Every structure is written in C-alpha cells, then in structure tokens.
Amino acid sequence: MMSAVTGYAGRLTQTTKRVAAIITTLLIFLMDSLSTLDIAIAVLYVAVILISVDIFSRKGVLCIALGCCGLTVLAYVSSHGLKCSDDSCGRCFISLSAIVVTAYLALKHSTAKSNLEEQLLLLNRSEAFLAGAQSLSLTGSFGFLMPCTEMYWSTEAKRIFEFDDVQKPTVDEMVKLIHADDQARVRTAIHQVGTAHAPLELEFRVVMTDGRLKTLRMLASPFAETHNTCEFMGALMDVTAARTAEEALQRSQSELAHITRVTTLGELAASIAHEVNQPLAAVITNAESGLRWLNRKEPDVVEVRNAIERIIAQANRASEVVKRVRAISRKAVPEHGKVDVSELVKETTQLVEREIKRNKITLRCYMDERAPLINGDRVQLQQVIINLIINAMQAMSHHVGGPREVLILVKRSETHDLGVTVRDNGPGILEKNIPNLFEPFFTTKAKGVGMGLAICRSIIEAHGGRIWASSEPGNGASFNFSLPRYGGPLI
Amino acid sequence: MIIECTPPEVFVVDDDIAICEAISALLRSTGIRVRTFNSGSKFLLAAEEVTPDCVILDVRLQGESGLDLPVQMLQRNIYSPIVFISGHGDIQMSVAAIKAGALDFLVKPFRDQELLDAVTVSIREGVEYREQTLKLMTLRSRYSTLSPRERQVMGHAVSGLMNKQIAALLGLSEVTVKIHRKQAMDKMLAGTFAELVKMEVLLSG
C-alpha cells in the first residue's frame, strides 16, 4: 500500500516536473520570439535539457532537444523572417550548437549514470546472495592483514562468534573465546602462517559467553603479499552440528563394535575357559609336586624352586589371558596409537587357538618383517582379525575332504602400507554375494546376524583403510584389508 | 624281574609344555622316570624304541586327536596302558577315551593323588600285562620247537583224550603217542601235565 502511494506520489511529482519543463520551454520560446534584445535567449533551452535528463527517457530528451532546436529556429524565423542577418543568424547558430552539445553530453552522462545504477543493483544483489549463502551454510568470511591483528569479519562470521556490531574483531578477541585446550595451538598456527605467508587450516572449539561449545573450522590463504605484510582472506565454518553427529555416529559404532566383541567372546568362551584352565591345572600340579618334593625324607630344594618358578610363570599366563579378555570386553572409547599388526595377529591367534584345534584346522601365519606399523585402536583391530578368523573357521566347518587350513598373511603393500589377508580353503563365496558381504544384516549363515563383516568394514574404514573379499567358488575365500602405514596418507 | 629293579618309566604327551613339566615334576617326586613329548608323532617314535610303563595322553593335541593315538600304538606294537587327561571332560569324551583303550580319564585340573593312583594302577597292570606277554612269548618260542606231530598229540592230550584214543585217532601206536607226549612236555618245560594244560590255554589266547 505504502509503495503504491509512494509510487503514485512519485508519478505525480514526475508529471509536475514534466509540465514545469514544458512550461519553461514555452516561456523561453515566448521570451525568444518576443524579445527585442540582441542576445541568444535560446541558449536558456540548455536548462530545459539538463532538467529533462532526469525526468524523461533518452528518447524524450532527444525529442525535447529537437523541439528546442525547432523552437529556436521558429523564434528566429518569426522575428527575423527568412532573411539571414549576420548577428542574429550567428546567435541562433550558437544557441543551436549549445542545445546540441548539451543534449549530447547530458545523454552521455545519463547513460553512464544508468550503467552505474545497474552495477550497483547487481552488486547489492550479489552481496545479498553472499550474505544469504553464508548464513545458510553457516560459513562466514574474514580477512586480516598480518602482522597487525585487526580483522575484517562478515556478518555471518560475527554471528558465529556472537560478536555485536560495536565490538571490533581482532585476532586477540577471537583467541580469547577459544577453548583453553586449543588456544595455544591456534596462536602458534596463526603466528606461523603470519611469518610464512602460507595457507591456514584449523579446527578449534570456542566457548560462548553462556558456556556453549562450538566447533569451528577456519581456512585462510594469502591473498595479497608485500615484502613484510600479507593479507589473508578466509572462510570460517560452524561445524558443530557435523562434529556432534560424527561423534554420535562414532559412539554408536563403537558401542555396536563392543556388543559384537562381547558376542564374539561368547562364541570363544570354551576356548578362553581352556586358555585359563590350562595354566591353572599346571599351577595346581606344580604346587602339589612342590609339596611332595618338600615332604620327601631329603627335601629337594632345586625341584621345589623350579616348581614355584613354574607356578609363577603359569599364574602369570592365566592372568595374561584374563587381561586380554578384559581388554576385548572393555567398553571404551577407541584409543589410537602405534600398532604392530603382526604382533596383534600372533596374540589374537593364541586366543582362538583352541577353537582352531577343535575344528581340526591348521592355522598358518606369514608375517612380512617389512610390514609397517599402523595407527589404530588395538582392540578394534583385534576384533576385525578375530572376526575374519572365526568366519574362515565357520566357512570350513562343513568342509569335508582335504585339509582345513586358514592362512594369515601380514605384508607390506606396493604402496608401502599394510596389507592383511585371511584365506581359507572352504567352499568359497557365491559371486552374487560378494558385493553384499559387508552390508549390515547380510548373512549366509543359518544363525548369523550379519553384523560381523559390516563392523569390520566400519572399523577398517574408520582407520582410513579398505576391506574387500575375493573368492574362487570351491577354492576358498580371501578377506583382505589394508591400512595406511603410521604417519602415511589415507588409502 | 627286570621291571622291579629299575623304576618305572612314564611318557607324558601334551602339547602344552607347562602341563608336561608339571606332571613330570609330580611323577618324579615319587621316583618315577618321566619323558615328555609335545606331539603324538614324537611320542610314537620314542615309544617304538622303549615301551613305557604308562602313557599320560592329552585328548587334544595340536593338529591331531589324542584319541587316535591308541590305535597307532597298537599298529606299532606299543602295548602300554594309557591314562587320558583333558581340559574339559564331558561324558561323550570320557566314553570315547575309554573305548579308545584308556585305563583312566582325568579332567584338568586334577588332584595329585588322582593322577598318581591312576599311574600306579596303570603301571601295575602294565607290569602284569607285560609279565603275561613275556610268559606268552616264552611259551610261543618253546611251542615253535615242537614238531607237527608233537603239537597234534599235545593238542589232543590237553583236550582230555586218553593216549589210546589219540593213538586210534592219529593211526599211531600207543607207545609212539607216549613218546611224543613226553617229548612235548620236555620241550615246553612243563613239570606236570596240569602245567601243560595251563600253557595250552595261554597259547590259544
């Protein structure tokens, strides 16, 4: 409504201006034709043209200019007739030239002005788009000039940091908000970037005044460099939601992994019981024989000492098994560290040794000495190895004829990363099943849940690696995984 | 006779060296000689050389079943009493062990006395068994020195036939039968006819 009224008022003033311009033209014409003064009154038409530039279109201005020229000639003819007197003819010519030149310049100016206006409009639009996109994507932009610490922040960047408009954004102000654990890291990074003029990539947490935590990702790269200053431009993203979701996903993954680990332990219960029972039996027999050596007419101290030493060794062995089982069943956040997978495979095979024997399977391991260390969580990787061995064993449980054999290869891949293969000589995998093997709830076992391999995949992928299966039906199956070497790039 | 002079020897077969060592220490404390083996094949090789008085055998061995060993022992003429030990004993397994020829079946962990009792019984039975075997082998070697005719006469005599009946049966004179009979008793080193009868019983198994 308002705009309609304003529009109407605008049209009204526009019309008034036009009428005023026409009246002025007529007045000048009257003055020109009626005046007896020997001056070029028609030059005043210039004013009409200058006014009309703002109120008429280009064509309108052209018409007015032509009209003014016509009126000038008309006034001349009406007062001087068709004869040409030097003075008045010269005045008329000057007037006409003034009108034409003014019209030309005015039109040129108006074109430039309208171009500018158009660009301004575009600029406003693109700025609005940018601001909209920034607020939609929770990405702010910023700039700063090293070594001074003053910063330019976009509206969204300010919103992310929850700065008000009066607050002057500086690096120090920003660092003040950063979580105490991350502050030193961010300061060093900014300092380094300032001296090296290198791109910056940072992720840190900030604490809002009300205690909320946000995770921000900051990217910046040098933009304009001089010998001692460097201007950076960058993007600031609020990745809190993504990080929260990621953490929740990791949590549920590690919980699921824990559950399947415990389930696996259940499957291995008989083996584990045996692993504990064996040293306990040795402890008891050693203790009893020790007593017997003591109770002889001539106690044999050497035998007693040996028996006690064996008791200690076997008690430790039992305790090791318990420790290992507890490590597997522990419900803990994955802890990443240097892992020697060959060592882990050895340890794991001890845990499933009985199960292997019970199934009359020969387990062979080949460890390449050059196999690299990797970065990962021992418990989770052990879970993958146990899972693959159990799968291999189960695959062969109905396999009659021919030796049952599980082969574990730990090697260095061509890319110097780690490769592990668990191969069985069971019936193999149907080709149509291979693409679905690692999908959750996919199983070919009568009592399977179909989570084992899905979890293996999520564990291996979380470690930056890859897992795949291959099989020649009738000739067994191979499960392979590769993991990036410690400190190497992801695969 | 020999057995009573030297202490008995027991072989322990378990793939867990700790168990082998523990059992070895226990048995040695009672004066038994012990040899330990961590695989069935090593044990068989050694037992072919020297037959142990008793074998303590784990039911599950690396890559092989302890239950198969008794058969292989028989195939190689190793006659030793077997005591099976196992980490987890269920009825099924103990039945299988006894069927395979075990004298006893113990579940780990066992008390020292249990094992010692089982071993003692085994050794005693083993001694008896071997005395029996020795006797049988002596008898067989003596029997092998008998001529076919002497064997015939001996067979009929111990079955209760009179000399006259034997003579009629074989178409010989009674005197010849008597000579063969005397010959057989001498060769078999039988003091009385009753002894000869016992020998025949042993020989015919």
Q: Output the 3-class SS for chain A.
A: CHHHHHHHHHHHHHHHHHHHHHHHHHHHHHHHHHCCCCCCHHHHHHHHHHHHHHHCCHHHHHHHHHHHHHHHHHHHHHHHCCCCCHHHHHHHHHHHHHHHHHHHHHHHHHHHHHHHHHHHHHHHHHHHHHHHHHHHHCEEEEEEEECCCEEEECHHHHHHHCCCCCCCCEHHHHHHHECHHHHHHHHHHHHHHHHHCCCEEEEEEEECCCCCEEEEEEEEEEEEECCCCEEEEEEEEECHHHHHHHHHHHHHHHHHHHHHHHHHHHHCHHHHHHHHHHHHHHHHHHHHHHHHHHHCCCCCHHHHHHHHHHHHHHHHHHHHHHHHHHHHHCCCCCCCEEECHHHHHHHHHHHHHHHHHHCCCEEEEEECCCCCCEEECHHHHHHHHHHHHHHHHHHHCCCCCCCCEEEEEEEECCCCCEEEEEEECCCCCCHHHHHHCCCCCCCCCCCCCCCHHHHHHHHHHHCCCEEEEEECCCCCEEEEEEECECCCCCC
**What ranges in B50-173 are assigned the alpha helix state H?**
69-75, 91-99, 112-144, 148-158, 163-170
Q: At what angle do helices A240-267 and A378-396 cross, to 10 degrees?
A: 50
CB-nearest to A362 from B28, B63, B115 is B63
Rounded to whole angstroms, what are the CA distances from B187 to B140, B156, B205? 11, 17, 20
Rounded to whole angstroms, what are the CA distances from A400 to A396, A397, A404, B128? 8, 8, 9, 43
pLDDT of residue A165: 74
**Per residue in B79-112, pLDDT tens?**
888 999 988 777 888 888 888 778 889 988 899 9
**A103: closest CA among A73, A71, A72, A59?**
A59
The residue type at A97: S
Tell me whether residues A310 and B21 touch, CB distance under 8 A: yes
Preceding omega of B109 cis (within 30 degrees of 0): yes
Distance CA B10, CA B24 (A): 9
A38 or A377, greater pLDDT: A377
**Per residue in B140-162, pLDDT tens?**
888 889 899 998 898 898 888 88
CB-nearest to B25 from A273, A280, A306 is A306
For an interface test with A, which of B20, B58, B68, B108 has the most A Cβ atoms less than 10 Å from its Cβ? B108
A35 pLDDT tier (thresholds 50, 70, 90):
confident
Query: A68 is written with which tokens?
Result: 């003014």
The residue in chain B having the minimum alpha-carbon distance to the alpha carbon of residue A281 is B109
Among A69-83, A84-98, A443-457, the least confident range: A443-457
CB-nearest to A292 from B30, B60, B109 is B30
pLDDT of residue A311: 96
pLDDT of residue B2: 41
Asked if the model's pLDDT at residue A391 lies above 70, the reply is yes
Asked if the model's pLDDT at residue A353 lies above 60, the reply is yes
Contact yes or no for B100/B83 (Cβ under 8 A): no
Rounded to whole angstroms, what are the CA distances from B169 to A374, B146, B160, B183, B197? 93, 20, 13, 19, 20
Residues of B in contact with A358 (CB under 8 A): 60
CB-nearest to A289 from B16, B26, B108 is B26
CB-nearest to B112 from A270, A288, A358 is A288
Query: A422 is written with which tokens?
Result: 């668990």
Buried b (16+ CB within 10 A) or exposed e, B54-70: bbbbbbbbebbebbebb
Residues of B in contact with A285 (CB under 8 A): 19, 22-23, 25-26, 109-110, 112, 115
A490 or A190, greater pLDDT: A190
Distance CA A360, CA B59 (A): 13
Query: A8 is written with which tokens?
Result: 């109407």
Distance CA A94, CA A89 (A): 9
Average pLDDT over residues A310-326: 90
Starting from the edge strand earliest in sequence, which strands make up the sheet with B33-37, in order? B33-37, B9-13, B54-58, B82-86, B102-107
**A412: closest CA among A369, A365, A470, A375?**
A369
Answer whether B19 touches A (CB < 8 Å): yes
A308 pLDDT tier (thresholds 50, 70, 90):
very high
The residue in chain B having the minimum alpha-carbon distance to the alpha carbon of residue A317 is B18
pLDDT of residue A280: 94
B5 pLDDT tier (thresholds 50, 70, 90):
low
Phi, psi angles (nearest 5°) of residue A337 = -165, 180
A6 pLDDT tier (thresholds 50, 70, 90):
low
Average pLDDT over residues A73-101: 81
CB-nearest to A289 from B16, B110, B112 is B112
* Percent above pLDDT 90 for chain B: 31
Tell me whether residues A278 and B25 touch, CB distance under 8 A: no
Query: A462 is written with which tokens?
Result: 């979380």
Contact yes or no for B11/B56 (Cβ under 8 A): yes
Q: How many alpha carbons fall within 13 Å on the CB side of residue A118?
A: 6
The pairing of beta strand B54-58 with beta strand B9-13: parallel
For an interface test with B, which of A288, A291, A297, A316 has the most B Cβ atoms less than 10 Å from its Cβ? A288
Among A73-82, A412-421, B45-54, the least confident range: A73-82
Phi, psi angles (nearest 5°) of residue A449 = -95, -25
pLDDT of residue B12: 95
CB-nearest to A278 from B19, B25, B111 is B19
Q: How far B136 CA lies from chain A's nearest CA (Å)?
A: 38
**A204: closest CA among A213, A195, A196?**
A213
pLDDT of residue A447: 67
Tell me whether residues A285 and B25 touch, CB distance under 8 A: yes
Structure-token match 């592990």, residue found = A420
Contacts of A306 (CB under 8 A, 6+ apart): B25
CB-nearest to B22 from A274, A282, A296 is A282
Q: Work out whether the CA dihedral B105, B107, B112, B114 comes out positive or negative.
A: negative
**Per residue in A120-154, pLDDT tens?**
999 999 989 988 888 888 888 888 887 776 788 88
Q: How far A244 CA lies from chain B's nearest CA (Å)?
A: 49
Q: How far A345 CA lies from chain B's nearest CA (Å)?
A: 19
Contact yes or no for B43/B69 (Cβ under 8 A): yes
Residues of A in contact with B29 (CB under 8 A): 289, 292-293, 296, 300, 303
For an interface test with A, which of B12, B21, B106 has the most A Cβ atoms less than 10 Å from its Cβ? B21
Distance CA A70, CA A64 (A): 9
**Across all residues in chain B, what is the average pLDDT?**
86
Which 8-state DSSP code applies to residue B7? P
pTM equals 0.55
CB atoms within 10 A of CB A375: 16
Tell me whether residues B22 and A285 touch, CB distance under 8 A: yes
Distance CA A107, CA A267 (A): 91
Asked if the model's pLDDT at residue A490 lies above 70, the reply is no
Residues 104-133 of B with CB under 8 A from A: 108-112, 115
Average pLDDT over residues A169-184: 83
Structure-token match 């022992």, residue found = B73
Residues of A in contact with B58 (CB under 8 A): none
The residue type at A435: P
Q: How far A295 CA lies from chain B's nearest CA (Å)?
A: 10
pLDDT of residue A7: 58
Distance CA A482, CA A461 (A): 10
**Across all residues in chain A, what is the average pLDDT?**
84
Interface size, chain A vs chain B, as Cβ–Cβ contacts under 8 Å: 84
Among A91-105, A398-412, B142-156, the least confident range: A398-412
Asked if the model's pLDDT at residue A266 lies above 90, the reply is no
Distance CA A29, CA A39 (A): 13
Residues of A in contact with B18 (CB under 8 A): 278-279, 282, 310, 313-314, 317
Residues of B in contact with A281 (CB under 8 A): 19, 22, 87, 108-110
Q: What is the predicted ipTM?
A: 0.71
pLDDT of residue A1: 46
Residues of B in contact with A273 (CB under 8 A): 88
* Percent above pLDDT 90 for chain A: 18
Among A63-72, A233-242, B129-138, the least confident range: B129-138
Residues of B in contact with A289 (CB under 8 A): 22, 25-26, 28-29, 112
Q: Identify residues of A whose CB sits under 8 angstroms from chain B CBs.
A: 270, 273-274, 277-286, 288-290, 292-293, 296, 300, 303, 306-307, 310, 313-314, 317, 354, 357-358, 360, 362
Q: Is A50 exposed, middle or buried (0-12, 13-18, 19+ CB in 10 A)?
A: middle
Which 8-state DSSP code applies to residue B64? E
Which CB contacts under 8 angstroms, 24+ apart, belong to A170-178?
A: A171/A144, A177/A206, A177/A207, A177/A208, A178/A204, A178/A205, A178/A206, A178/A207
The residue in chain A having the minimum alpha-carbon distance to the alpha carbon of residue B85 is A281
In degrees, to the nearest 5, what angle opens at C-alpha A180 toward C-alphas A178 and A184?
A: 85
